[in-house]
Amino acid sequence: MSTAMAVTDETFEAEIEKHEGLAVVDFWATWCAPCRRIAPILDELAAEYSGKAKVAKLDVDANQKTSIRFNVRSIPLVLFFKAGKVVDQVVGQVPKPILAEKFRKHAA
């Protein structure tokens, strides 16, 4: 069971863009194997940064409006938001230390 919350086109603004602190969004799809491999890493980081970062998942197939808005061309795509603005991103399947460093950098 994922610790990341699901967001949709309808809830994205309220849950992510209006969130004051760090919000991390995993843009993914059910058919994407690299997305399935990165998910447990994001779940671990969500637990480690509980209270310091909100971690969410957005299914690009079901939520095309938000995917288009953020110019999602490749998945998995992890966007880091602070005070509603994109401050960093990671494209593709990467090892945990790379994602962990981004969490450390932006959760401070």
Does the annotation mark 95 as catalytic? no
Count other C-beta atoms under 10 Å from residue 87's C-beta.
Answer: 13
- Whole-angstrom CA distances from 71 to 49, 50, 65, 68, 107 are 27, 28, 10, 5, 24
Residue 11 phi/psi, 5-degree rounding, is -105, -5
Does the annotation mark 20 as catalytic? no
Q: For the chain, what is the radius of gyration of the CA atoms? A: 12
The catalytically annotated residue of 35, 58, 72, 78 is 35
The catalytically annotated residue of 23, 24, 32, 60 is 32
**Residues involved in catalysis:** 32, 35
